Structure 1
Amino acid sequence: MAEVTALYRYPVKGLSAEPLPALTLARASGLAFDREYALALGTTEFDPQNPEPLDKGFFLMLRSNEVLAALSTRFDPESGQLTVIQDGEAVLTEDLTSETGREAVEDFFESYVGPAAKGRPRLVRAAGHKFTDGSVISPAFMRAVSLINLASVRALEERTGQPIHPLRFRANIYIDGLEPWAEMDWVDREVTIGSLRLRGLARTPRCAAVDVNPETAARDTNLPKALKRNFGHVDLGIYLEVLADGAIAVGDRMAVPTGTEDAA
């Protein structure tokens, strides 16, 4: 029986995952505080009053800035405080709801990332907007959550002959107990996790961001190439649309579609 083994959110695009015992999701807005903030490159124009979805290349992110993986971050939604930990020590704690706090965060990342930030990065946020990779596709993709089938990760490990940390794929939901690649068939089909109803939007194509080891910050694989060579595609995981408000928790069971079901 398939069940949830781990849940995560990513309050700041490109920064570390936050493990949570449960997630509350809404049809209208997806997962709260997931990719809520982003660090725009110094050359990026983004208007919080009139937000337009932008490709992830306009922001600090792991595909180009693997040094971000050497940091551990924690965000407290109630206080608005972001804490950055480097080499086991807190090097920054600032309130993202204040101008001085945001400026301190920008100062830190300008120094930490260096020239690759293309000037002073700007911490950005906009009401009703998420900095998900799929935001450029449609509003539904902006609000979607991502799922990883751990059996598919193990199948890739077997073909590459090396361990692959599942957090390379930066998903919200991690599931075990399925056949490898079962999730590839969920597009346009409904799945249920606990009592939460979701629908497959699209398979998740993988870029060079997954080559960054989340434990060492080293770029030590070429997983998109390995996927293509061994399986004929570069996909691992799936985007899911939230169909109704609800919550899921670690340990929840998953009902998966059969081949004869129609999408809801």
Structure 2
Amino acid sequence: MTATVTEIWRHPIKSHGREPLESVTLEAGKALPLDRLWAVAHERAAVVDGSVWASCGHFCRVAKIPALMAITTEHDGATGRMTLHHPDQESLVFDPDTDGDIFVAWVKRLVPEDTLQPVRLVRAQTQAFTDSAFPSVTLCNHASHRAVEQRAGRPLSHLRWRGNIWIDGLAPWEEFDWNDREVRIGKAVLRVRERTDRCKSTHSTPDTGTRDADVLGALDSWGHQDFSVRAEVIQGGPVTLGDEVARV
């Protein structure tokens, strides 16, 4: 069976929404365009200004604020304006580069009082705020997700993994065998650098932003808490739904 791209997702604001794409052009040495370009610094992240990459601990994220998982995003490339939707409040239309205060006021309504509070929206100036210290694209395997569903004993939305490129036609966990190997996806070539370690953000359902499943417990049954792999783009090119995926 030929492996193919089934879905492409970007997450313009780290942990604050997802947006589906039909195609994307990857660039060597960069994350997926507009993915994790912004992040939300919390009240203890005084030194984070976007001039250098910063780890996820400096930002508000789903692992600490489950309600964020239910945000969806629409980014207008012509105007730079972004629309955020959440089932528990009115949608917000704003410019992330100029309307940071408006965004913070909107998202604070989703943050419990006993959690580190959002204070500012930070734009990455040199490197996207992916969870890896290198600009990464996350590759996800539908067969591995189905295996997790079986261990969990219930259907689970695959969107809780917040991956970039979804692939079908592989064996379960086959993507783990790609470490340090090159993979051609459409016209782009990526080198898989590492497995993606997971946290409690995966326990939240994208439908409502509430915790509904012990996903880490399901992963523990395989002796790890990893899902998907992080890859570096080494040859840029377009990637479109339906494109073939193959090891080089």
Q: Give 1:33's aligned residue.
A: 34
Matches within 5 A, 1:94-133: 94-98=94-98, 101-116=99-114, 118-133=116-131
Q: Provide the C-alpha distance between the structure 1 equivalents of 2:61 and 2:207, rounded to a whole number of angstroms.
A: 16
Matches within 5 A, 1:180-219: 180-219=172-211
**Which moves more between the two structures, 102-111 or 57-66?**
102-111
Structure 1 consecutive aligned stretches of length 4 or more whose deviation exceeds 6 Å: none
Q: 1:244 aligns with which of 227, 235, 238?
A: 235
1:72 positional shift? 2.4
Q: Report the aligned-residue RMSD.
A: 1.8
1:88 positional shift? 8.4
Q: Provide the C-alpha distance between the structure 2 equivalents of 1:47 and 1:155, rounded to a whole number of angstroms.
A: 38
Larger radius of gyration: 1
1:208 positional shift? 0.7
> SS in structure 2 opposite 1:243?
strand
Q: Structure 1 length normalisation: TM-score?
A: 0.87
2:204–2:213 contact (8 Å) kept in structure 1: yes
Q: 1:160 aligns with which of 152, 160, 167?
A: 152
Give the residue type in structure 2 aligned to 1:204: T
Q: Give 1:77's aligned residue.
A: 77
Aligned length in residues: 247
Q: Structure 2 length normalisation: TM-score?
A: 0.92
Matches within 5 A, 1:40-79: 40-48=41-49, 50-51=51-52, 53-79=53-79
2:48–2:58 contact (8 Å) kept in structure 1: no
Give the residue type in structure 2 aligned to 1:131: F
1:107 positional shift? 1.8
1:110–1:117 contact (8 Å) kept in structure 2: no
Give the residue type in structure 2 aligned to 1:93: V
Structure number having the greater helix percentage: 1
Q: Provide the C-alpha distance between the structure 2 equivalents of 1:76 and 1:155, rounded to a whole number of angstroms.
A: 36
CA distance 1:207–1:112, change in 2 (3 Å)? closer
Quote the sequence identity (%).
36
